[in-house]
Structure 1
Amino acid sequence: MREIKFSQDEKDRIVAKIKRYFDDELGQEIGNFEAEFLIDFFAQEIGPSFYNSGLHDAHALFTEKSEEIGYLVQELEQAVD
């Protein structure tokens, strides 16, 4: 798996969400540095689980669509006399 990297714009938006969560839910203020540290921690420690879940979902969708294509191909078969 490749390293998860965010653009600066993405990181800024995520930092704002983390800071808002800490303030709203925990009644604590954290700075940008701490929020960015949390992003990096979660990306490294939890990211692979989300990545694997996404791969599983993609595989299931691919399998489903492949079966649909198989049925469509069967419908194209012509009767042999």
Structure 2
Amino acid sequence: MNTRTPKTTPITDDYDISNTVLGLGINGKVVECKEKRTNTRRALKVLHDSPKARREIIDVYDNTYGGKRCLLVVMECMDGGEL
């Protein structure tokens, strides 16, 4: 189990967020993003904060989204399959 401590800095400091929707997950949409440091393609999920939501992460930000506290979760980007 991955238990990274969420960053509280803006996610846009480290990632370029695209408008490209990769798919819909159980908890909402998944969009493409790129890590600025390596230019690596990633997938970004916006999840409402919960212990279960903290399990599948490469990088995570504890921010607000739409006025609610959320986890912005960066994951490995894989083409095809379930998100």
Whether the TM-score (by the shorter chain) exceeds 0.5 is no
Higher strand share: 2
Name the TM-score class by shorter chain.
Answer: under 0.3
Report the TM-score when normalising by structure 1: 0.21
Higher helix share: 1
Larger Cα-atom Rg: 1
Bigger relative CO (Cα 8 Å, ≥ 6 apart):
2
